[in-house]
Amino acid sequence: MDSSSDEALDIIVTNVVATFRTRCHLNLRTIALEGSNVIYKPEVGKVLMKLRKPMITASIWSSGKIICTGATSEDEAKLGARRLARCLQKLGFKVRFSAFRVVNVLAVCSMPFAIHLIDFTKNNRPIASYEPELHPAATYRIKNLKATIQVFSTGSLTVTGI
């Protein structure tokens, strides 16, 4: 393990999940008919709408609740959500953008060394748990931050949580 190198580690945010409400009922058939980039899923009762810039996928329910995923920053998530609300407004719905909330943020980071997962789990029990037959990474849960870190043997880390 070369710990003498001074390389900075990049923590890259790869996904931000946010929700908001439109405070009005949405007719999913209308959205499916008049919107492009739209997938209608009647069996689940929702519509998936994809925006190009920022690259966001939104799940739209008829109750007016919308979940946006795919943004790479919180500001981008807000912009995408507002674009979506404007789009729905143009389709004829009385949309009021409200209750915008970031629900989950996912980030990745890579260590320049390999990690021995069995020793890592033994030294960090019970915060860390590792089941090689189920998942290749060890799960490290930080309770007070409500964050979960997946530690891979290649040195990659995936952080999820608010």
Partner 1 sequence: MSAAGMTCPGCGSTNIVDDDLYSQAQLVCVDCGSVVSEGVLANDPVGGSDVSFSRTTAVAKKPCANQIKGLQRVKAICRILMVNSEIEALSQTYYKMAYEHKAFLKVSLQKKDILTGCCVLVSCRLLNWPITIGTISCLLDADPMVVGAVYQEMVKNLSIEAPIVNVTDVIEAHCHDSVDVPEELAENSRDLTKRAVALVELAADSWIVTGRKPIPIMMAATYLAWQSLKPNKHRLKFSLDKFCQIAKVKKLKPAMKRVAEIKEVLCKLGKEIPWVGGAMTPNNVIQQVECILQHRYALLRRAMRTHEDALLEESQASFTSVVKQNGSNANGKEQPGDGDNNPHALPEHRNWGKRVLFAPPCVIHPKKRRVEQCEHKDVTGDEEISDSEIDSYIRTPREARDFALMQQMLPLSDSGKS
Interaction site with partner 1 (CB under 8 A):
2, 7, 33-37, 49, 51-54, 71-79, 82-83, 86-87, 90-91, 110, 112-118, 121-122, 125-126, 129-134, 136-137, 152-155
Residue 57 CA to residue 149 CA, distance in Å, equals: 24
Sign of CA dihedral 88, 90, 96, 97: positive
Residue 123 CA to residue 121 CA, distance in Å, equals: 5
For partner 1, the closer of residues 28 and 71 by Cβ is 71
Unique residue bearing structure tokens 């919180």: 74
> CB 39 → partner 1: shortest distance, Å?
13
> CB 132 → partner 1: shortest distance, Å?
6
Residue 66, CA distances (Å) to 22, 62, 125, 155 in order: 8, 9, 38, 35
Is residue 78 within 8 Å of residue 18, measured between CB atoms? yes
> CB 107 → partner 1: shortest distance, Å?
13
Burial 58-92 (b: 16+ CB within 10 A, else e): bbbbeebebbbbbbbeeebbbbbbebbbebbeeee
> CB 65 → partner 1: shortest distance, Å?
20
> CB 61 → partner 1: shortest distance, Å?
19
